[in-house]
Structure 1
Amino acid sequence: MASAHILGFPRIGAQRELKFAQEAYWRGEVSLATLHDTGRDLRARHWALQQQAGLDLVSVGDFTWYDQVLSTLALLGALPVRFGFDARTLDDYFVALTKWFDTNYHG
């Protein structure tokens, strides 16, 4: 019997909730806890949507706060120490995007 599965689920939210929460955090309008709540709520909602759609396997581990490459490097502990970033913290993660990658890439 075949199983239904997708490789990943768009993380930003149907109403671009993650984007707006990140921008509000960067402007100092919401707390880090609020940003974390948004991410947690989106992951739970997306898992439920996949389950309700009848998928046999739900995609997990595909969420990233902004950049898939940076998230993977942080997960693997592969960020060069010489840059002084601890991308496991969101503040350093976001600083690394602008200071280390020096890009306007919007993942």
Structure 2
Amino acid sequence: MATQFWMIRAGEGGYLVEDFERTGHVAIGWREAGDFTPIQTLGQMRERLAQAYPDEKPGWLGNAAAMCFKFRKRIRPGDRVVTYDPQRREYLIGTMEATTSSSPD
């Protein structure tokens, strides 16, 4: 099986790239949606996001749900992750060791 690569953006304009590099972690936003651990289907993800963001349009919800669901259920240990540092004009590449869910506050 071929190695899977995933682009994980480090926030708008790459403002979190130093945190990604320093901690060795990648992450996504949508904090208001809470813990995605119990989510098992794309429909559940869409429902969770619709509850957390009731003013968003259906197109936004569908796109956000697809991105969150991939992060939650499709990225696996051994997959490669890539992010871009616009300041240094470099791509940072890592390997997923495990997926966890936490909500740092």
Bigger RCO of structures 1 and 2 (CA < 8 A, at least 6 apart): 2
Higher helix share: 1
* TM-score (ref. length: structure 1): 0.29
How high is the TM-score relative to the length of structure 2? Answer: 0.29
